[in-house]
Amino acid sequence: MLDEVLSQPLALVVAPAGAGKTVLLEQWAETHPDRSFVWLDIVPADNDPAHFAAKLVATLSRVVPHFLDAAAPVSISGRRLGETFLEVLPARLRTLPETVIVLDDVHQLTNRSLLDDLERIVEFAPPNIHTVFSTRMDLPLGWSRHRLNGDLVELRSADLAFDFDDSAELLARLCGRPFDPEAVAALVTRTEGWVAGLQLAAMTMKGRDDPEEFIEHFGGTDRLVADYLTDEVLRAQPSRRRTSLLRASAFDEMSADLITEVTGEDGAQSWLESLERESMFLVPLDTRREWFRFHNLFRDLLRYHLRAEEPGAEPTLLAGAADWYLARGDVQRAVEYLLRAREWERALTLVRTRGAHVYERGELRTVIRWMTDLPDSVVHDRLDRLLLLGFLHGLEGQVVAAADPLRRVMNDPDATLSQQLVAHAIVACEAWWSPRPESSVDAAKRSLALLDANPGASTPDLLGLTHYESLRTMTLFSGGRAHFLCGDLAEARRWLELATRSEGADYAPWRISSLGSLALVEAWCGRLGRAEELATEARAIAEEANLVAHPSTADAYLASSLVAAERSEPEHAERMLAEGVARAAATRRTQLMWIAHLVSAMLGQTDSAAELAVVPEGPPPPVVRDRLTALRQRERRLSGRDSLPWAAEPESSDAPATRFEQTAYALAHLQPQRARALLGTEAEPRDDEPLVTVERLLLRAWLADVEGRPPAAERRLGKALALAEEHALVDVFLRAGPHVVAQLAQLPGQRSAFVEHVLERAATTLAPAASSILSEPLTERELEILACLPSRSTNGELADRFYVSVNTIKTHMVHIYRKLDVPNRSAAIVRAQELGLLR
């Protein structure tokens, strides 16, 4: 039955514990050495989306090394695995050979979003991927379509149940001798072929002289059978071995070193190997046989006996395991064991002081779960608990959940100065999430004023990240981001430069965030070289600190994507955009996602960029709204749709991007007076915003050309070209459109490599517009005549040139005007330039 999945996308194996699901799948895999099998043993920790995604990628990388490279988007969004991750995954899966992905113990997943995403992975997986879900219970997933289409393989308890022959062979192998067929039949009937019951029965019968009599009196429901037989197995163990089994059951996973150090068990490795050989419900977790776990059912029963027989032993063992993991730097497992041991104070101390290690792995939901698991009586200071919860929810991007506890602290008359300092700093960090960046600016100013008024103040320790210097750095880069989103680029740069130089920027995620945000500002201004330097430095720090996949790198990746877009390098821009989107989505940074949406709109001619152009929730920040508006205006201008209400008044927008489009519209429609009014007086070039300077110079060059002043047009275009080449600004010429590109192509003198690159990109991005816009394309002869129109040749001169009559030329002209939807020759020239038909 399982072989059928090799030609189908999905198989479900649903049966209770001990039914043999895992063994069956392992044996099946061994019969297909020609296929690649990857195995994910699901555990409760996998409910953390970041943890699960990292595990999935690491497992697939065993089939194809570097399945996703070091900078892969393995971060996870707030709703689900992350749109970008799920959209990139199918393409990456196609790089695998014929592969079967086995997800074992899927019932451990209680996170509905993750289950939905697993369903999506199956839906969009390429044909070379086959997925097997092994679970104790039916999953709340909609497989109805697969059932109706006949491309779902299902195995249930009845399919896995051992029949007479299977049971007889199993009992004979485990007990070392065959049994009477009637006895075997009775055992199969009483166990209903449940393989764990058969296995436990065989282990119990090993030491009995009357196994047939045992079978004759054996009976009960599955659960009673399991309890009875497991008890019988334990009673058959020597006292010392029984004690070792009970104590080892306290550990979720165990190695010889862990057992020896915590329990004092000598020869733990050989003991584990003997348990595995004797089928004592031990599951190996790696190919080296270093880590194991007990079968869940057996482990639960062992723990039941441990608590009954040694009441105080389990907490001691759990605390010892926590110490063992902590000594090896594994804070997450240490806290998990302390919570199970009910050592609340130690657990809380670790969360407060070492939780940053988990944050750096992008698994903040785990820390939030720890806090909710702690009883209220443990956190003596109510306000400190509110601060910590607000901080955690804020870092995770749950702004609504963070706002309430933080504002309760800020408004509480009993809150200390140190608690107020922390609360204000955390609220200031909401810039990437808040739809009101101006509020975040005010919050950052209040926080900075409070910090500056109390230099070096002592503050509560939350994850080791809320000391005075850290709070000040957080406030500075948060204020810089808020100013940027409001469109105040100069102030944004000032705050972010202060952040990068502050003492708290020694903490790698803060420094990565500060550099990445500053890179975004510089890219926005057109200082592309500086932006790329900052973004590269941020990613280098991330790589050195093993934080490449951390959400803090999102700013740097998006800055690099914007740089590549302005340089008109779409392939590189798309790669960086995918990385940035994945990291921004991991913590729901809506405002950063709006920036990603803008970049994807800039690259909207490609399928990959279109897939990333998901519109975020809520309104865009002002700085993004202005550029998105300008992009829509440009699309309408170049498409020739003349009814443009946004172009009605010069005063309609002061934003540089929209003002640029309004002026370009006026010039494209031969309205020089309106264009001059929009441009205003000629301003001095600005070193801090070269993009705006280049835009204004291009518009003035265009205006001079429309007004018939060629020397002025060439002079201004030359200045724009020099500044654009200095900063590698290519896309600005393409945004201006065909007329400016034509001016550039006609500049006298030898063309530089930069100019050639601009013209090459223009030919690729602007020329195809005509075929998609014109309802009826121009003929070759009409295109030849059209190319001569800017020379102002008369109809007679055109007739002589093409060896036809004047009437024929007139007929061609009528056809050209009709297809271009223009009334006369001048309008035809403008329209043809807009469509890229005139170079």
CA distance 305 to 126: 48
What is the CATH architecture of 2-159? 3-Layer(aba) Sandwich (3.40)
**Residue 614 confidence class, pLDDT cut points 50, 70, 90:** low
Better-scored residue on pLDDT, 117 or 835: 117
Identify the sign of the CA torsion 358, 363, 368, 374: negative
Q: What is the DSSP letter of 133?
A: E
What is the CATH architecture of 771-834? Orthogonal Bundle (1.10)
* Token digits of residue 694: 């280049």
CA distance 207 to 363: 49
Query: Containing H/E element for 282?
Result: strand 282-284
* Token digits of residue 493: 């740069």
Count of alpha carbons within 13 angstroms of residue 696, beta-carbon side: 18
- Name the residue with tokens 């020597």: 238
- Model confidence over 498-524: pLDDT tens digits? 999 999 999 999 999 999 999 999 999
CA distance 396 to 406: 15
Please spell the DSSP secondary structure of 550-589, one letter per residue. Answer: SGGGHHHHHHHHHHHHHTT-HHHHHHHHHHHHHHHHHTT-
* Token digits of residue 84: 């970008």
- Model confidence over 758-797: pLDDT tens digits? 988 887 777 544 444 566 778 878 888 888 888 778 888 8
**Residue 264 confidence class, pLDDT cut points 50, 70, 90:** confident
* 347 contacts 370 by C-beta, under 8 angstroms: yes
* Token digits of residue 832: 């043809």
Comparing C-alpha atoms, which of 497, 399, 479, 391 is closest to residue 440? 479
Q: What is the mean pLDDT of residues 267-280?
A: 80
CA distance 275 to 269: 10
Q: List beta partners, residue 293.
A: 283
Sheet with 129-135, edge to edge strand ranges: 36-41, 99-104, 129-135, 10-14, 152-155
Check whether 556 has a pLDDT greater than 90: yes
Sheet with 282-284, edge to edge strand ranges: 254-255, 291-294, 282-284
- Model confidence over 289-304: pLDDT tens digits? 889 988 766 777 788 8
- Name the residue with tokens 């993009």: 691
Give the pLDDT of residue 256.
Answer: 93
Q: What angle do CA 647, 652, 658 make, to 5 degrees?
A: 70
Q: What is the DSSP letter of 214?
A: H
Comparing C-alpha atoms, which of 661, 373, 692, 719 is closest to residue 526? 692
Neighbours of 614 (CB within 10 A): 16
* Token digits of residue 17: 């514990």
CA distance 627 to 713: 26
Please state the φ and ψ torsions of residue 312, each to the nearest 5 degrees: -95, 0
* Ranges of each domain in the chain: 2-159, 164-235, 381-506, 507-616, 771-834
Give the pLDDT of residue 646.
Answer: 45
Please state the φ and ψ torsions of residue 616, each to the nearest 5 degrees: -70, 170
Q: What is the mean pLDDT of residues 668-676?
A: 87
Range picked from 243-257, 411-425, 818-832 for highest mean pLDDT? 243-257
Torsion angle in degrees (nearest 10) through CA of 120, 126, 127, 130: -50
- Model confidence over 274-294: pLDDT tens digits? 887 665 767 788 777 889 988
CA distance 420 to 33: 63
Q: What's the CATH superfamily of 507-616?
A: Tetratricopeptide repeat domain (1.25.40.10)
* 650 contacts 678 by C-beta, under 8 angstroms: yes
Better-scored residue on pLDDT, 13 or 54: 13
Distances, alpha carbon 557 to alpha carbons 142, 362, 584, in Å? 36, 17, 10
**For the stretch 259-290, what's the b/e string if a residue is b when 16 or more beta carbons lie within 10 angstroms of its beta carbon?**
bbbbbebeebeebbbebeeeebbbbeeeeeee
**For the stretch 311-336, what's the b/e string if a residue is b when 16 or more beta carbons lie within 10 angstroms of its beta carbon?**
eebbbebbbbbbbbbbeeeebbbbbb
**Residue 68 confidence class, pLDDT cut points 50, 70, 90:** low
| Antiparallel, parallel or unpaired: β 152-155 and 282-284 | unpaired
- Model confidence over 741-766: pLDDT tens digits? 888 888 888 788 999 989 888 877 77
Comparing C-alpha atoms, which of 4, 23, 10, 7 is closest to residue 101? 10
This model's pTM is above 0.75: no
CA distance 51 to 42: 11
Residues belonging to the chain: 839
Residues sharing a CB contact under 8 Å with residue 24, sequence separation 6 or more, in sequence order: 2, 13, 160
Comparing C-alpha atoms, which of 163, 103, 111 is closest to residue 136? 103
* 640 contacts 679 by C-beta, under 8 angstroms: no
Check whether 251 has a pLDDT greater than 60: yes
Please spell the DSSP secondary structure of 77-125, one letter per residue. Answer: -SSSS-HHHHHHHHHHHTTS-SEEEEEE-GGG---HHHHHHHHHHHHH-
CA distance 669 to 108: 65
Comparing C-alpha atoms, which of 544, 496, 548, 499 is closest to residue 520? 496
Range picked from 200-209, 403-412, 554-563 for highest mean pLDDT? 554-563
Decide: helix, strand or coil at residue 742: helix
* Token digits of residue 563: 């740089």
* 716 contacts 700 by C-beta, under 8 angstroms: yes
Percent of the chain predicted with pLDDT > 90? 27
CA distance 65 to 87: 20
Give the pLDDT of residue 86.
Answer: 62
Check whether 132 has a pLDDT greater than 70: yes
Domains 381-506 and 507-616 share a fold: yes
Q: What is the DSSP letter of 651?
A: G
CA distance 627 to 676: 22
Which range among 135-139, 629-633, 692-696, 711-715 shows the weakest confidence by mean pLDDT? 135-139
Comparing C-alpha atoms, which of 383, 433, 763, 425 is closest to residue 584? 433
Q: What is the 3-state secondary structure (H, E, C) of 497-534?
A: HHHHHCHHHHCHHHHHHHHHHHHHHHHHHCCHHHHHHH
- Model confidence over 788-823: pLDDT tens digits? 888 778 888 888 888 888 888 888 898 888 888 888
* 470 contacts 504 by C-beta, under 8 angstroms: yes
* 608 contacts 88 by C-beta, under 8 angstroms: no
CATH number of 381-506: 1.25.40
CA distance 388 to 349: 12
Which range among 128-142, 710-724, 773-787 shows the weakest confidence by mean pLDDT? 773-787
Give the pLDDT of residue 78.
Answer: 39
Check whether 590 has a pLDDT greater than 60: yes
Decide: helix, strand or coil at residue 220: coil
H helical segments located in 361-430? 364-373, 382-396, 399-410, 417-428
| Antiparallel, parallel or unpaired: β 152-155 and 254-255 | unpaired
